[in-house]
Amino acid sequence: MDLRQLAALVAVDDHGSFSAAARALYTVQSNVSAHIAHLERELGVTLVDRAKGRLTPEGIVVVARARRIQRELDALTADAVSMGQEVAGDARLGVIGTTARWLVPQLLGAVHAAHPKVQVVILEASTTSLVPLVVGGGLDLAVVNLPVEDPEIDTSLLFTEELVLLATPASPLYGRTEVSFSELSGHPLVLPPPGTALRRDLDAEARRAGVTLRPQAEIDGVRLMASLAFEGYGSTIVPTTAVPGWLKGDFSRIPISDLALRQVGLARRRRAMLSASARAVADVLQDVIGAKGPKQRGVRVRPPSDNAVPSNDDRSSLPQ
């Protein structure tokens, strides 16, 4: 097995055919076919269904590993270049939407100023979507809603923030200056789906308070939940950063007096080495949150010593 064979398989998956893969790799189709055939013989399985032009189940498993190998090689190159020089290379960061709104513009500028040769690739998505990408190596780091219950993920707390009720004019709570969580019992609400971190928090609070939450709709995406409230579809519970201070509309932003704070943290793959560029981005991210987080309504930033991302050298700090 060699890297050319793995590259050929990745290219076929990316481009959908042997001929397109050959063009992407600046070679001829017969070379791609030969690399795939050699890899199949060595592994003893069929990786590409030639009749359908797509990967077999075995091919999907192998290509996922091949992508991880390629990313490790990229990180190796970036680390070698960065030794004794400026940090250089790519860093792939996932961010939940509510945090991305205020964090990413500040982060990109700060990374460019501190490490001009580092290229940050940002993916905005829900925690549910980001965590598998961190596990699979598609992302180096991700800013996510905590807790994350995945044995392959290590997390550190970045900040906490208040949750608020966005009430539409149709809600009897519209116009209130404050509500208690128990007052939400029985009211139709746009909620995240069961199993998501925010929904687990809300369900736990409901059990504690003896409250019955009544889903009007279930949406895996906090910004979309907020948008539905802004448009009058239904009331919802969202982090305070989901509601920009400049936004005006026919809705009420109501603090919930007795609801626990939402936790937002940084996730990375356990027992994996971060590249020099990813470590640099993690450090800058901590600095930006420390400086800009307290300026966001309802956000409370933990002291830096409580947030530190484990370094590659401090393996004892990672859960085993």
- What single string gives the DSSP state of each residue in 19-58? HHHHHHTTS-HHHHHHHHHHHHHHHTS--EETTTTEE-HH
Say if residue 27 is in the same domain as residue 47. Answer: yes
Q: Quick one: pLDDT at residue 104?
A: 96
Say if residue 106 is in the same domain as residue 250. Answer: no
Q: Quick one: pLDDT at residue 262?
A: 92
- Of 214, 308, 295, 237, nearest in space to 268 by CA: 308
Range 134-160 average pLDDT: 92
Percentage, residues of the chain above pLDDT 90 = 50
- Of 316, 319, 317, 280, nearest in space to 153 by CA: 319
Segment holding 214, helix H or strand E: strand 214-218
Say if residue 99 is in the same domain as residue 70. Answer: no
Say if residue 167 is in the same domain as residue 255. Answer: yes
Domain membership of residue 30 (yes or no) is yes
Q: Quick one: pLDDT at residue 83?
A: 56
- Of 246, 250, 249, nearest in space to 296 by CA: 246
Percentage, residues of the chain above pLDDT 70 = 90
Say if residue 241 is in the same domain as residue 167. Answer: yes
Domain membership of residue 196 (yes or no) is yes
If pLDDT is split at 50, 70 and 90, which confidence band does 311 have?
very low
Q: Tell me, what CATH number does 49's domain have?
A: 1.10.10.10
Q: How confident is the prediction for the chain on average, in pLDDT?
A: 86
Q: Quick one: pLDDT at residue 303?
A: 62
Q: Can you give the residue range of the structural domain that contains 133? A: 87-158+266-297
In this predicted structure, the answer to whether residue 312 has a pLDDT above a threshold of 60 is no
Say if residue 124 is in the same domain as residue 272. Answer: yes
Beta carbons of 222 and 144 less than 8 angstroms apart: no
Burial group, residue 212, by CB count within 10 angstroms (0-12, 13-18, 19+): exposed
Most confident of 1-5, 216-220, 245-249: 216-220
Among the candidates 47, 77, 107, a domain finishes at 77
Q: Quick one: pLDDT at residue 232?
A: 93
- Rounded alpha-carbon distances, angstroms, from residue 11 to 31, 61, 71, 237, 238: 12, 15, 14, 43, 41
Beta carbons of 175 and 228 less than 8 angstroms apart: no
Say if residue 22 is in the same domain as residue 65. Answer: yes
In this predicted structure, the answer to whether residue 114 has a pLDDT above a threshold of 50 is yes
Q: Quick one: pLDDT at residue 318?
A: 31
Among the candidates 234, 260, 286, a domain finishes at 260
CA distance 248 to 229: 12
Q: What is the CA angle 246-247-251, rounded to 5? A: 140
Q: Tell me, what CATH number does 97's domain have?
A: 3.40.190.10
CA distance 314 to 153: 16
Domain membership of residue 273 (yes or no) is yes
- Of 128, 64, 106, 126, nearest in space to 294 by CA: 106
Say if residue 18 is in the same domain as residue 141. Answer: no
- Of 65, 21, 27, nearest in space to 45 by CA: 65
Q: What residues contact 212, with CB distance under 8 A and at least 6 apart? A: 185, 186, 206
Among the candidates 55, 77, 99, a domain finishes at 77
Q: Quick one: pLDDT at residue 106?
A: 95
Say if residue 98 is in the same domain as residue 126. Answer: yes
Domain membership of residue 303 (yes or no) is no
Range 294-308 average pLDDT: 75
Say if residue 279 is in the same domain as residue 149. Answer: yes
Domain membership of residue 68 (yes or no) is yes
Domain membership of residue 310 (yes or no) is no
User: Is the pTM above the cut of 0.75?
Assistant: no
Domain membership of residue 305 (yes or no) is no
CA distance 293 to 50: 52
Lowest mean pLDDT segment, chosen from 14-28, 79-93, 124-138? 79-93
Range 142-171 average pLDDT: 94
Q: Quick one: pLDDT at residue 197?
A: 87
Say if residue 98 is in the same domain as residue 34. Answer: no
CA distance 174 to 78: 54
Segment holding 3, helix H or strand E: helix 3-15
Number of structural domains (the chain) is 3
Q: Quick one: pLDDT at residue 68?
A: 76
Domain membership of residue 307 (yes or no) is no
Say if residue 146 is in the same domain as residue 270. Answer: yes
Tokens of 277: 């560029």
